[in-house]
Amino acid sequence: MFTPSPADIAAAAKRIAPHIRRTPILDLPAGALGFDHTVALKLEHLQLTGSFKIRGAFNNLLSREVPEAGVVAFSGGNHGAAVACAATALGHRSVIFVPKPLAKSEKIERMERFGAEVRVIDKSSAEVMVDYETHAADTGALAVHPYDGAWTLAGQGTVARELEREIDGLDTVLVATGGGGLIGGVAAWFGDRVNVVSVETRGTNTLARSLAEGPEIDVRATGIAASSLGGPAIGALAWPILRDRVRTALVLEDQAVIEAGQRLWEDARITVEPGGAVALAALTSGAYRPEPDERVAVLLCGGNATPGWQLGW
């Protein structure tokens, strides 16, 4: 089974560079967000489609032959928007399958705005995944998996390559985990050089459950981060990377995510989607406590939500 190497990730970074944004770093001093230590935020929610997913989407479409039938994807929203954006930019049609339990109006609108035909299906994530695969087989459309593909992992890993170039002496990076595409690409790039910490919610705990029970699970995603972290299982490609390289897999309650989003807004005037606040919540809740001199970065992975969700607007 092919696992992307650092060389594959470096090649992906060169391939997608003309099509994506190099997102900024915000360094927060001790005292900000209630921390007694410094922390760096990678503002990936400012990416072209509002999430890191655009990296993997463009790497897929630029690395593979796209047939006349176009592309098809399964998504709760962010991956679908990214695939739609990349497909439209490169002159292809796109169809996105969305499980109704994960469907959020703001994410469906974004997918359609980027040019996708969106099909909301009233089934579980695992069942809709089968529908998406059947559509690809029946029509010949190129299937772009949201997290379990070598091109996807390599594309998502480019954010780690950026981080290492932007932050000297990086010790730890906190990453929200859904199906494992982002954290798998990040861990594939860093290897043993940087401590990669997984953060999930109770209703989207694919990695924590896989580490405890084995990877053959079907998580019925629930809770505040389900639309962005709602993979039914860790992808087969990401699983061996995460099993071997991720030593800490934290699971938080939804309230910790809400409080992280509130604090991010109140102290830094930044708003992200719930999934984008999950990694930060490991710090704001105290679930992860850095050592005094530990250089920590947090990936704010997505911003596709109606502003004010964390404030009850």
pLDDT in tens, 259-272: 999 999 999 999 99
Q: What confidence score (pLDDT) does residue 73 get?
A: 94
Q: Are residues 16 and 63 in the same domain?
A: no
230 vs 297, higher pLDDT: 297
Using alpha carbons, select from 287, 284, 283 the residue that is nearest to residue 263.
284
- Mean pLDDT check: name the lowest of 216-225, 247-256, 279-288: 216-225
Q: Per the domain annotation, does 1 fall within a domain?
A: no
User: Is residue 166 situated within a structural domain?
Assistant: yes
**Prediction pTM value:** 0.93
Q: What is the pLDDT of residue 282?
A: 97
Q: Domain ends where: 144, 168, 196?
A: 144
Check which CATH number belongs to the domain holding 128 and give it: 3.40.50.1100
Same domain, yes or no, for 159 and 247?
yes
Same domain, 108 and 176: no
Domain extent at residue 59: 54-144
- Shared domain for 26 and 171, answered yes or no, is yes
Please report whether residue 219 resides in a domain: yes
* Domain end position, chosen among 144, 171, 188: 144
56 has a pLDDT exceeding 90: yes
Q: Do 162 and 270 belong together in one domain? A: yes
Same domain, 110 and 239: no
Lowest mean pLDDT among 8-17, 111-120, 287-296, 302-311: 302-311
Q: What pLDDT does 160 receive?
A: 98
Q: What is the mean pLDDT of residues 167-188?
A: 96
From 122, 144, 166, the end of a domain falls on 144
* Residue partners of 244: CB distance under 8 A and separation at least 6: none
pLDDT of residue 97: 94
C-alpha dist (Å) from residue 284 to 104, 115, 164 = 26, 37, 23
For 11, other C-beta atoms within 10 Å of its C-beta total: 16
Mean of the pLDDT values across residues 236-246? 95
Report the pLDDT value the prediction gives residue 313, as an integer from 0 to 100. 59
pLDDT category at 152 given cuts 50, 70, 90 is very high
The total domain count for the chain is 2
SS3 24: coil
Quick check: is 79 in a domain? yes
